[in-house]
Amino acid sequence: MAYMSMGEAHRRITEYLNRFSDAVSSQDGASFKSLFALSSNSPYLLSLADALNLFQDANRLIKQSDNYSQFADILVPLFRSFQNYRQNNLLEAYNAFEKTANAFIQEFRNWESAWALDALYVIVYDIRVLAEKADKELASSGKSPEKLKGAGSVLMKVFGTLAGKGSKRVGALYVTCQLFKIYFKLGTVHLCRSVIRSIETARIFDFEEFPKRDKVTYMYYTGRLEVFNENFSAADYKLSYALKYCNPQSTANIRMILKHLIPVKLSIGILPKSSLLEKYNLLEYINIVQALRRGDLRLLRRALQDHEDRFLRSGVYLVLEKLELQVYQRLVKKIYIIQKQKDPIRAHQVKLEVIVKALKWLEIDMDVDEVECIMAILIFKNLMKGYFAHKSKVVVLSKQDPFPKFNGKPVNS
Amino acid sequence: MANEGSNTETLAPPEPHMFENRHVDAGQHHPTSYAPSTTGSEAASWTVHGSTGNGIYSNPTYQYDQHPQPPAKSIQDGYNVSSIAGNSSNLGTANVTQDYNAYASYPSSSNPYGYGSMGYSGYHNNYQQQPNHTYSQPVGAYQNTGAPYQPISSFQNTGSYAGSASYSSTYYNPADYQTPGGYQNSGGYGNQATAWNNGSYSSNPYTSYTPDSSVSYSSGAATTSMQYQQQYKQWADYYNQTEVSCAPGTENLSVQSSSALGCPIPAVTSGYATPNSQPPQSYPPFWRQDSSSSAIPSFQPAAVNSGDHDSYWKHGPQSSQIQQTNPIQPNYQSPLDLKSSYDTFQDQQKTVSSQGTNLYLPPPPPLPMPLPSQQVNLSPVQSAQSPEAKRVSKLQIPTNPRIASNLTFGQPKAEKDSSSTGSAPKPVYIAVSLPKPTEKVSSNDAANSILKPGMFPKSLRGYVEKALARCKDDKQMAACQAVMKEMITKATADGTLNTRNWDMEPLFPMPDADVVNKDSSLSSAQDSLLPKYKKSPRRSKSRWEPMPEEKPVDNPMLITNDTVKYSSWVPNAKDRKGLMENKESKEDGLRNTKFSPLLQRMSNKALQRPFKKQRLTDASIVSENGDASSDSDKEQSLTAYYSAAMAFSDTPEERKRRENRSKRFDLQGHRTENNHSRKKHAGPGNLYNRRASALVLSKSFEDGASKAVEDIDWDALTVKGTCQEIEKRYLRLTSAPDPATVRPEEVLEKALVMVQNSQKNYLYKCDQLKSIRQDLTVQRIRNQLTVKVYETHARLTLEFGDLPEYNQCQSQLKTLYAEGIEGSDMEFAAYNLLCVIMHSNNNRDLVSSMASLSREAKKDEAVKHALAVRAAVTSGNYIAFFRLYKAAPNLNTCLMDLYVEKMRYKAVNCMCRSYRPTLPVSYISQVLGFSSGVINGASDERDTDALEECSEWLKAHGGSIITDNNGDTQLDTKVCSISILHTATLVSASTLCMPEPEDAVAHGDANLAVNDFLARAPL
């Protein structure tokens, strides 16, 4: 940083203040929001921060003029936040910024129109990012990271100011999405429930009126929630919606959506092309899809084991694990097909020992009882039609459509 | 803890035991007593009642019966008494509490005072049953815990109540009253106690009643025997006057008639009168009942309680009345025996009375009409207090000044004047023993009017108090009052009232007491007492408490203060007890602790609304009643008193203050509420000497209402325990811990070992462990010992299947392990997994707990097992599940146990769908873990049993079991002989069902089912 004179610093600060008050008085949302974009690292704000560090008495400047002093609650902590951010005191920066945010919310409430919505977005975003950084700092110094949680409650407040009627309502979804990000990160997803309810039950405001990007994000997160709940059809709908409207340019986002959508689709019997998996670098699914195609239980288990951490983190592990049944089904189906080729009349009777043997080939060590149990479950879950004769240890398959297709319906569980 | 100790002691003597037993099982005693008196149908109802909490009623009846046959039964009573009285005052308390449990089905009973009432407003019925059985012993600790557990459930009581009402009438033997001899023995006392309990209990529900019983009781008890009679009479008169219908009761004749139930004894009246202090609404209904049962419906629209309660109300009051009556009488004649117990009672009284008085002071809208009934009530309150006052003055002089200096609210006037009387210790609180002739009341009023705060300078008041302080007995007092009245009248007449320097005024010579009307003796003492009560709260500040005096925004607020005061009284109680018995103080403390929160709650709930909103209506009702009873003298005096109170509350300062307060209240809104609730927990802290830091904190906390609790410097407050006892009951802290009752780490270690080696049952161990945990927490000890304690407890809970408790341990362990403290974290990781899998049924939790497993963790045997179980559960693989079940390490089996039923059901469901045409039961039995053995073959008995069990289970779940053609002649449908019988087609899944669990409990937690609990864990 080049040397900056005192006068220069003073000039920059007053310029910032002027911009601030001008933006407010002209209700210029675009230029207003740039004044808060702390984490954007814009050179303008960085130099302002330098100026602030040099010129220690900025608060006096704020209080000098009525134009600024009415926003002192916002500006004073904001300046402090700038300074600390510049000096990498992230914790302090966050604390100050939270104050700014609270003051801003107060002010925002008083503004009739939603002209400052963009600035609010910036604040909402920044507070989350700052909180994450502050938490990192806290964690590295051995303290408990709790700022993100704090940011969450600030955002809840913001949501409260937006969730009512009127033009500000449009912003509610953005805040919701930021809240999702926080809650998913914190693992306190249950806190989303109230927000979701208020979004989905609001009749006065059509969901489609929200900005598209927010809708996509929202659908992505709620879709993920549905995956957790194993509510596959809803998850399918939401994630597909997100995929459909997601900006095709943002492959990272598409990949994130697919990460969750693929397991959902798999569990309702729809397998992706491997080209798709390759395109979006979702190679962890390749073996799983393979296993499903082949009825290769060993492959499935291995794939699950290999990527266990990843699947657990994204929360799809359990969904994938349930694909085992489909693999069994595939296996039995294969046996059935082979038997049919040999002896079409008796093909519908599959002996248990055959299946056990097949599994043994796959190096899966299961005894007769266990396989019998699996067969019972397959029949029970309607993956196979037929019955099991315990006495003779035979699976008797229905002659008609013994292996029903999913048709987009999840396995009945 | 003292609690435990005392309890055990009480238990030790066989007789007390019996006593307890009786309570618990009402059925035992009653049969003898009530069978004869009641008709068959009634008897039946009795038994039913007995089993449930209703035992209360039965007990009273029982005792009633006894009265008629004083000689024989008195013995029994005697031992009751002995247990109570004999075991020193402490025991007395303990017993009382127990009685409560037993008698009052209300769990709250243990805290006769606060609890019952609270329970009513909030928890109502639930308590009744639980507390009786389970908690009777642990009195202190359990009740608290118990309360939260029990959602409002059972209203069964109502029915029983009705029944009880009828009993009372039947049972009442007029003879009792006339044969005083029977009462004189300690048995009488016992009766009292019980009665008291009953009374309080019954009254509690009504909130208003509680005070009654206690007051009346106390009045009787406190005064010496000579006075009893007088009082008694007075009450009777009183009663008659107030309530015409009741009159017969005094004569005992009415007793037998159902309508009169409550009324027969004058004591009852007193009891009723007292209630005035509390929400008047409840009151009126009571009266009405007396006169005619039909009046009941009019009951309490405004009352806190819902419709259910109403029904309760109707019956309840009657029964309670009866009970009250009995207790009091015995007192009169055998006051001495009872003394020790009195103290405990007195405590209660104090609370009650303080509350009552408080209520009066603040009444916001001055009512033009004096409420006759209320006034009537006042007198009892006062009388009750007076004994108290006496004691205080004698024994606790040291404490008084403190109290006095603190006084803000009670005597605003005094404070305002910076005169010498000022805020300095007020000698005034005269202890007057009160004979209570009817006129007394009026005298009281007179005294009050003399002292009327609004009208006279404070110095005058001080003067009067001084003068009264000299009086040695009520006669003198009355005389003094008369003299003073004259003086004041004169002064008023010549205009010197306000100019004269009363502080300097020489006291007039002691008038000859005989000259003066005895009756007018009552007292300024009470007046002064009231303020005292108020003052005491200051001392009692607890850390979390807002300072009461500053807060009293409102009536409800005042009430809370009162509670606080109550707790503050405890120290007094201790002192007193010092004279009486050592232990009691502790016990008291315990009770108080519980108490105050209860009271507060009660006050919040019950008083707030009723008092404010319903006041007018109530008043009108009351006044009606009052008219009926009208004794014009009394009324006038009462009016005077009342108006005095009004004036008091209406002084400009007071008004201003109130304004401020209400402003604050507005601002704080929620805040205050919060404080309140917090206070509930904090109340008892008063017992202990607080460290200065805590005091400061509490102040600052209050000042900055927005300051969060976490701003408190916990380090400064961390307790270092000094208690050396290894065994300690768990009692939920409601205030800052007292180092003297907290065990230091070394002792805790011993305690842990003791628990681990203990042969006692789960409940005991759980209780001990909880107290250990509490001590650890309080001292902020977080080390391996902590982990060990939690692990021990967690294992114990698992063995017992107590999941809620387990979850507490588990979550603590999680954070402890996360802090890097060593322990068997793998083992518990496995438990955690199992717990999540099987019981929370939340995929997100499951995934996150799986994700949190480290690589090493996954290699651990237990964790591996848990993961395998998880896989089996998620895939529905019952074969794997039951194999794992049999091979489970550690206590994994215990957790799996809890899931076995579900798994079996799922499995059978699945089998029914998949298998055709039949499936042998033997196979099912083997596969679902009923039998361990081979499928075919063995005629092993175990396997036969298992088969039988299995088929029973299948049948219970709706499976249809048939016997196939291979059946031999041997075949018995009941015994499935393995080799031959292939069976059991469970025809269609649709018939399957989960049977209603037989031990289902209304509140959903079978662990809390009273009977079950007792059966499993007789302490």
Q: How many domains does chain A have?
A: 2
Contact between chains at B875 and A321 (C-beta distance less than 8 A): yes
- The three-state secondary structure class of B729 is coil
Mean pLDDT of B883-893: 85
Task: Kindly state whether residue B210 falls inside one of the protein's structural domains.
Answer: yes
Whether B161 and B224 map to the same domain: the answer is yes
Contact between chains at B877 and A374 (C-beta distance less than 8 A): yes
Q: How far is A285 from A261, CA to CA, in rounded Å?
A: 11
Task: Kindly state whether residue A286 falls inside one of the protein's structural domains.
Answer: no
Contact between chains at B850 and A317 (C-beta distance less than 8 A): yes
Contact between chains at B851 and A388 (C-beta distance less than 8 A): no
Cβ contacts of A143 on chain B, cutoff 8 Å:
none
The CB density around residue A7, as the number of other CB atoms within 10 Å, is: 9
Q: Looking at residue A261, what is its pLDDT?
A: 93
Q: Which residue has the higher pLDDT, B99 or A164?
A: A164
Q: Which residue has the higher pLDDT, B719 or A2?
A: B719
pLDDT digits (tens, 9 = 90+) for B498-545: 666 666 666 666 555 444 444 444 433 344 334 334 333 333 333 443
Contact between chains at B844 and A379 (C-beta distance less than 8 A): no
Cis peptide before A344 (omega within 30 of 0): no
Distance of CA B212 to CAs A128, B233, B524, Å? Answer: 60, 17, 21
Identify the band that residue B940 occupies on the pLDDT scale cut at 50, 70 and 90.
Answer: low
Q: Looking at residue B994, what is its pLDDT?
A: 59
Whether A202 and A336 map to the same domain: the answer is no
- In this predicted structure, the answer to whether residue B261 has a pLDDT above a threshold of 80 is no
Q: How far is B873 from B840, CA to CA, in rounded Å?
A: 13
Closest-approach residue (CA) in chain A for B855:
A309
Q: Looking at residue B403, what is its pLDDT?
A: 39
Task: Kindly state whether residue A289 falls inside one of the protein's structural domains.
Answer: no
Whether B788 and B887 map to the same domain: the answer is no
Contact between chains at A318 and B844 (C-beta distance less than 8 A): no
The closest CB to that of B879, out of A318, A322, A370, belongs to: A370
* B930, HSE (Cβ side, Cα atoms, 13 Å): 24
Cβ contacts of A153 on chain B, cutoff 8 Å:
none
Task: Kindly state whether residue A311 falls inside one of the protein's structural domains.
Answer: no
Interface of A with B (CB under 8 A): 187, 189, 228-230, 309, 312-313, 315, 317-318, 321-322, 324-325, 369-370, 372-380, 387-391, 396
Task: Kindly state whether residue A220 falls inside one of the protein's structural domains.
Answer: no
Q: How many domains does chain B have?
A: 4
pLDDT digits (tens, 9 = 90+) for B196-236: 433 333 333 333 333 333 333 333 333 333 334 444 444 44
Indicate the length of chain A as a whole number. Answer: 413
Task: Kindly state whether residue B774 falls inside one of the protein's structural domains.
Answer: yes
Contact between chains at A377 and B927 (C-beta distance less than 8 A): no
Cβ contacts of A146 on chain B, cutoff 8 Å:
none
Phi first, then psi: give them for residue B983, nearest 5 degrees.
Answer: -140, -150
Q: Looking at residue B942, what is its pLDDT?
A: 64
Q: How far is A126 from A134, CA to CA, in rounded Å?
A: 12
Kindly give, in sequence order, each residue whose CB lies less than 8 Å from that of residue B738, ignoring residues fewer than 6 positions away: B687, B688, B719
- In this predicted structure, the answer to whether residue B762 has a pLDDT above a threshold of 70 is yes
The closest CB to that of A376, out of B844, B911, B920, belongs to: B911
The enclosing domain of A329 has a CATH number of: 1.10.10.10
Taking all residues of chain B, what is their mean pLDDT, rounded to a whole number? 51
Task: Kindly state whether residue B407 falls inside one of the protein's structural domains.
Answer: no
Q: How far is B927 from chain A (nearest CA, A)?
A: 8
Q: Is B919 on the interface with A (CB under 8 A)?
A: yes
Q: Is B871 on the interface with A (CB under 8 A)?
A: yes
- What residue type is assigned to position B803 of the chain? L
Contact between chains at B844 and A228 (C-beta distance less than 8 A): yes
Which of B841, B844, B935 is best to mutate for the A interface (most A CBs within 10 A)?
B844
Whether B849 and B766 map to the same domain: the answer is no
Contact between chains at B876 and A322 (C-beta distance less than 8 A): no
Q: Name the residue among B360, B685, B663 with its Cα closest to residue B534.
A: B360
Q: Looking at residue B507, what is its pLDDT?
A: 63
Q: Looking at residue B499, what is its pLDDT?
A: 62
Q: How far is A392 from A390, CA to CA, in rounded Å?
A: 6
Task: Kindly state whether residue B388 falls inside one of the protein's structural domains.
Answer: no
Whether B953 and B804 map to the same domain: the answer is no
Q: How far is A276 from chain B (nearest CA, A)?
A: 27
- In this predicted structure, the answer to whether residue B720 has a pLDDT above a threshold of 80 is no
Q: How far is A387 from chain B (nearest CA, A)?
A: 5
Q: Which residue has the higher pLDDT, B986 or B495?
A: B495
Hey, which of A338-352, B378-392, B662-676 has the most confident mean pLDDT?
A338-352
Q: How far is CA B721 from the centre of its chain?
A: 28
Q: Which residue has the higher pLDDT, A303 or A57?
A: A303
Q: Looking at residue A240, what is its pLDDT?
A: 93
Mean pLDDT of A197-209: 75
Q: How far is B412 from chain A (nearest CA, A)?
A: 42
Q: How far is CA B501 from the centre of its chain?
A: 49
Whether B78 and B149 map to the same domain: the answer is yes
Q: Name the residue among B107, B97, B146 with its Cα closest to residue B129.
A: B107
Closest-approach residue (CA) in chain A for B915:
A388
- In this predicted structure, the answer to whether residue B62 has a pLDDT above a threshold of 50 is no
Q: Which residue has the higher pLDDT, A93 or B615?
A: A93
Percent of chain B scoring above 70 in pLDDT: 23
Q: How far is A196 from A225, CA to CA, in rounded Å?
A: 11
- In this predicted structure, the answer to whether residue B649 has a pLDDT above a threshold of 70 is no
Kindly give, in sequence order, each residue whose CB lies less than 8 Å from that of residue A35, ignoring residues fewer than 6 positions away: A16, A19, A20, A23, A45, A119
Kindly give, in sequence order, each residue whose CB lies less than 8 Å from that of residue A117, ignoring residues fewer than 6 positions away: A29, A168, A170, A171
Whether B766 and B845 map to the same domain: the answer is no
Q: Looking at residue B711, what is its pLDDT?
A: 53
Closest-approach residue (CA) in chain B for A323:
B875
Q: Name the residue among B434, B417, B452 with its Cα closest to residue B381.
A: B434
Distance of CA B218 to CAs B118, B223, B433, Å? Answer: 21, 8, 12
- In this predicted structure, the answer to whether residue B29 has a pLDDT above a threshold of 80 is no
The closest CB to that of A377, out of B843, B846, B910, belongs to: B910
CB B932 within 8 A of CB B925: no
Q: How far is A375 from A352, CA to CA, in rounded Å?
A: 9
CB B523 within 8 A of CB B444: yes
Contact between chains at A390 and B913 (C-beta distance less than 8 A): no
β-strand pairing of A394-397 with A386-389: antiparallel
Mean pLDDT of B955-959: 71
Measured distance between the N- and C-terminal CA atoms of chain A, rounded to whole angstroms: 64
Mean pLDDT of A95-121: 86
Closest-approach residue (CA) in chain B for A229:
B843
Domain final residue, candidates B872, B907, B942: B907
Indicate the length of chain B as a whole number. Answer: 1019
The CB density around residue A46, as the number of other CB atoms within 10 Å, is: 16
Task: Kindly state whether residue B359 falls inside one of the protein's structural domains.
Answer: no
Mean pLDDT of B347-363: 37
Identify the band that residue B238 occupies on the pLDDT scale cut at 50, 70 and 90.
Answer: very low
Whether A191 and A330 map to the same domain: the answer is no
Domain final residue, candidates A178, A210, A242: A210
Task: Kindly state whether residue A386 falls inside one of the protein's structural domains.
Answer: yes
Q: How far is B843 from B317, CA to CA, in rounded Å?
A: 52
Q: Dihedral (C-alpha) B267, B268, B274, B278: value to the nearest 10 degrees?
A: 160
State the count of interchain CB pairs (< 8 A) between A and B: 76
Task: Kindly state whether residue A79 falls inside one of the protein's structural domains.
Answer: yes
Task: Kindly state whether residue A125 falls inside one of the protein's structural domains.
Answer: yes
Whether B935 and B956 map to the same domain: the answer is yes
Cβ contacts of A390 on chain B, cutoff 8 Å:
915, 918-920, 923
pLDDT digits (tens, 9 = 90+) for B374-406: 333 333 333 333 333 333 333 333 333 333 333
Closest-approach residue (CA) in chain B for A396:
B916
Task: Kindly state whether residue A132 falls inside one of the protein's structural domains.
Answer: yes
Distance of CA A258 to CAs A266, A275, A276, A283, A317, Å? Answer: 11, 13, 9, 12, 15
Give me the residue label for tokens 């994450």. A132
Closest-approach residue (CA) in chain B for A393:
B915
Task: Kindly state whether residue B298 falls inside one of the protein's structural domains.
Answer: yes
Cβ contacts of A230 on chain B, cutoff 8 Å:
843
Task: Kindly state whether residue B584 falls inside one of the protein's structural domains.
Answer: no
pLDDT digits (tens, 9 = 90+) for B129-172: 333 333 333 333 333 333 333 333 333 333 333 333 333 333 33
Task: Kindly state whether residue B430 falls inside one of the protein's structural domains.
Answer: no
HEC letters along chain A: CCCCCHHHHHHHHHHHHHHHHHHHHHCCHHHHHHCCCHHHCCHHHHHHHHHHHHCCCHHHHHHHCHHHHCCHHHHHHHHHHHHHHHCCCHHHHHHHHHHHHHHHHHHHHHCCCCCCHHHHHHHHHHHHHHHHHHHHHHHHCCCCCCHHHHHHHHHHHHHHHHCCCCHHHHHHHHHHHHHHHHHHHHCCHHHHHHHHHHHHCCCCCCHHHCCHHHHHHHHHHHHHHHHHCCCHHHHHHHHHHHHHHCCCCCHHHHHHHHHHHHHHHHHCCCCCCHHHHHHCCCHHHHHHHHHHHHCCHHHHHHHHHHCHHHHHHHCCHHHHHCHHHHHHHHHHHHHHHHHHHHCCCCCCEEEHHHHHHHHHHCCCCCCHHHHHHHHHHHHHCCCCCEEEECCCCEEEECCCCCCCCCCCCCCCC
Hey, which of A286-300, B432-446, B590-604, B838-852 has the most confident mean pLDDT?
A286-300
Which of A184, A189, A224, A377 is best to mutate for the B interface (most B CBs within 10 A)?
A377
Q: How far is B740 from B734, CA to CA, in rounded Å?
A: 16
Kindly give, in sequence order, each residue whose CB lies less than 8 Å from that of residue B680, ignoring residues fewer than 6 positions away: B596, B597, B600, B601, B734
Contact between chains at B847 and A315 (C-beta distance less than 8 A): yes
Contact between chains at B913 and A380 (C-beta distance less than 8 A): yes
Identify the band that residue A257 occupies on the pLDDT scale cut at 50, 70 and 90.
Answer: very high
Contact between chains at A380 and B848 (C-beta distance less than 8 A): no
Whether B922 and B901 map to the same domain: the answer is no
Contact between chains at A377 and B876 (C-beta distance less than 8 A): yes
Give the domain extent around B877: 836-907
Contact between chains at A369 and B879 (C-beta distance less than 8 A): yes
Q: Name the residue among B318, B295, B92 with its Cα closest to residue B205.
A: B318
Cβ contacts of B886 on chain A, cutoff 8 Å:
none
pLDDT digits (tens, 9 = 90+) for A18-55: 888 888 888 887 788 888 887 777 888 888 888 888 77
pLDDT digits (tens, 9 = 90+) for A184-193: 888 888 888 8
Contact between chains at B914 and A228 (C-beta distance less than 8 A): no
Whether B785 and B887 map to the same domain: the answer is no
Domain final residue, candidates A210, A243, A277: A210
Whether B802 and B881 map to the same domain: the answer is no
Q: How far is B144 from B138, CA to CA, in rounded Å?
A: 10
Whether B767 and B880 map to the same domain: the answer is no
Cβ contacts of A369 on chain B, cutoff 8 Å:
879, 927
Mean pLDDT of B960-970: 51
- The three-state secondary structure class of B161 is helix
Beta bridge mates, B963 = B983
Whether B862 and B934 map to the same domain: the answer is no
Cβ contacts of A324 on chain B, cutoff 8 Å:
875
Give the domain extent around A104: 6-210
Contact between chains at A372 and B879 (C-beta distance less than 8 A): yes
Kindly give, in sequence order, each residue whose CB lies less than 8 Å from that of residue B300, ignoring residues fewer than 6 positions away: B281, B282, B285, B309, B310, B313, B610
Closest-approach residue (CA) in chain B for A391:
B919
Taking all residues of chain A, what is their mean pLDDT, rounded to a whole number? 85
CB B604 within 8 A of CB B304: no
Kindly give, in sequence order, each residue whose CB lies less than 8 Å from that of residue A215, ignoring residues fewer than 6 positions away: A173, A207, A208, A241, A245
- In this predicted structure, the answer to whether residue B339 has a pLDDT above a threshold of 50 is no
Q: Looking at residue A260, what is its pLDDT?
A: 92
